Structure 1
């Protein structure tokens, strides 16, 4: 299964540009208000605070673009920001049999995907992806696909344990 919100990159770029313009216009209006008009009083600080808070919230939600591919024998995860210099893009590929479990954390407007994979060095490794910009349907499809892989892995482990018990007896 393939899942991607890459086609929404232009929308995220537009929102990003709009928020940056709102911050710049807010600063200009604040300066005009403070040094020229002086009508609003203390409320003039809201001209800067609101756009800056919206811009910070946009970036705190995490990387905007998430891609997932479970076709074949490997799982592919890619997570990147629309502004390339803000965050390092994440790109992980590993065999399906290494997937141990996953967890999706949803706190207010922030969603994170934590994937636990088996590792020879440390036993297991946890990978973190930001999925706040996925729709409910996309998150449901992602859960369905990951559940399928985890269930198949658990069945293989149980079958291996049964076969090992038979050979020991």
Structure 2
């Protein structure tokens, strides 16, 4: 099964540009308010605080692009940000038989996928992916696919 929200990259880039313009407009309005108009008083700080808060929410939600491929004998996960220099992109590929368990955490606007794989050195390793920008259907499909792999692995061990 293949799952990807790469087609939405242009939407995320547009939102990012819109937020940047919103911040620049807020800073410009703040400067004009402070030095020219002086109508809002202390509330003029909201012209900067609100855009900064929205930008922080956008980036705290995690990497925007998530790709998953379970075709063949390996699982391949890729997770990257639309702005390459903000966070290092994640890319992991490992055989299906190494998958021990997975967990999807859903907290308000933040969704995370934790994958536990078997490792020769430490016994097991936990890999973390940010899936906040996946739709509910995509998360359900991902859960179904990973559950099928875990179930197959448990049957082979028995």
Do the structures match in fold with TM over 0.5? yes
2:85 corresponds in structure 1 to: 85
RMSD, aligned α-carbons: 0.4
The yes-or-no answer on 1:130 pairing with 2:130 is yes
SS at match of 1:125: strand
**Paired position in structure 2 for 1:165:** none
Q: What aligned pairs does 1:20-169 form with structure 2 within 5 A after superposition?
A: 20-158=20-158
Cα deviation for residue 43 of structure 1 reads 1.2
Per-residue deviation at 1:108?
Answer: 1.2
Gaps of 5+ in 1: 159-169
Secondary structure of 2:62's partner?
Answer: coil
**Length-normalised TM-score, structure 1:** 0.93
TM-score of the two chains, using structure 2 as the length reference? 0.99
Structure 1 counterpart SS, 2:86: coil
How far apart, CA to CA, are the structure 2 residues paired with 1:24 and 1:105?
34
Quote how far apart the aligned CAs of 1:64 are.
Answer: 0.1
Provide the C-alpha distance between the structure 1 equivalents of 2:55 and 2:27, rounded to a whole number of angstroms.
13
Q: How far off its partner does 1:42 sit?
A: 1.2
Inter-partner Cα distance in structure 1 for 2:16 and 2:144: 31
Give the count of matched residue pairs.
Answer: 158
Q: Matched residues in 2 for 1:97 and 1:131: separation?
A: 23
Larger radius of gyration: 1
